[in-house]
Amino acid sequence: MLTVRNIHQYYGGSHILRDVSFEARPGEVTVLLGRNGVGKTTLLKSLMGLVPIKSGSIEFDGRPVHGKTPYERARAGMGFVPQGREIFARLTVEENLRMGLAYRSASTPIPPALFELFPVLKQMLHRRGGDLSGGQQQQLAIARALAPGPKLLILDEPTEGIQPSIIKDIGRVIRMLAGRGDMAIVLCEQYYDFAQELADHYLVMERGEVIARGEGKDMEARGVRQLVAI
């Protein structure tokens, strides 16, 4: 589904991503771990084309996408839930969800399945995004990314600053989406227990490099908890 090969990325003169390669397969959750500032968000933004890469390749669904705009990547089926959620505070929940459908025709309905995943969004359909709790905003950001039916869902620290009950709900949704088998999920996370619970595969980054990788079931035995402990 997603094949990343030998990516290098710079902010000005700072070499941030160093030869990063990995794959994400449908039906699986690939978890990206690492301490603050190691380049996790930069990697996810590179996947979406929100920051340019200097070299390397990104293949999605059998086609190279590294020359494409973020808009084209979204259209191709890449969905992104940014760190900090970035919902539109002054738009309603419904309008935020419609933003997720922006590249579809205006008559495309909001998929009712989204409200089965996140019932709270139905209750709050006409409330402004900015008036939602942090956890509700996170659910809205995920639903917005899911609205057009992506084949790949990229999530950047969805548990950051969110209460435990909603973290559980979000975990259940991610597991359920992976369980359907047709969507690949790339999840960047610093909350170790959450990451371990969901990971089919893991990658650990340090200073822009992947320093460890393997299967989720081996994370504890391989000492990944210690590798990312602050």
DSSP conformation class of 153: E
What are the backbone angles phi and psi of residue 88, rounded to the nearest 5°? Answer: -90, 110
Q: Does 41 bind ligand ATP (CB under 6 A)?
A: yes
Provide the minimum distance between the beta carbon of 168 and Mg ion in the complex, in angstroms, as a whole number. Answer: 22
Which two structure tokens, joined as six digits, stand for 88? 């539109």
Provide the minimum distance between the beta carbon of 154 and ligand ATP in the complex, in angstroms, as a whole number. Answer: 13
What are the backbone angles phi and psi of residue 187, rounded to the nearest 5°? Answer: -125, 120
Provide the minimum distance between the beta carbon of 36 and ligand ATP in the complex, in angstroms, as a whole number. Answer: 4
| Closest residue by Cα to residue 22 from 227, 218, 211, 228 | 211
> Near ligand ATP by CB under 6 A, which window of 1-9, 38-46, 68-76, 164-172?
38-46
34 or 79: whose CB is closer to Mg ion? 34
Helix axes 93-100, 134-146, angle to 10 degrees: 30
Q: Does 171 bind ligand ATP (CB under 6 A)?
A: no
Q: What is the rounded distance in angstroms from the CA atom of residue 79 to the CA atom of residue 72?
A: 11
Options 4, 7, 33, 38; binder of ligand ATP; rule CB under 6 A: 38
Judged by CB under 6 A, how many residues of this single chain contact ligand ATP? 12
Which two structure tokens, joined as six digits, stand for 68? 């494409």
Provide the minimum distance between the beta carbon of 49 and ligand ATP in the complex, in angstroms, as a whole number. Answer: 15
Query: Can you spell out the DSSP letters for 11-30?
Result: ETTEEEEEEEEEEE-TT-EE
> Near ligand ATP by CB under 6 A, which window of 19-27, 31-39, 106-114, 141-149?
31-39
Options 6, 11, 123, 193; binder of ligand ATP; rule CB under 6 A: 11
C-alpha count within 13 angstroms, C-beta hemisphere, residue 115 = 12
Q: Bridge partners of 204?
A: 33, 212
175-204 binders of ligand ATP (CB under 6 A): 190
Q: Return residues touching ligand ATP (CB under 6 A).
A: 11, 16, 34, 36-42, 83, 190
Query: Residues interacting with Mg ion, by CB under 5 A?
Result: 40-41, 83
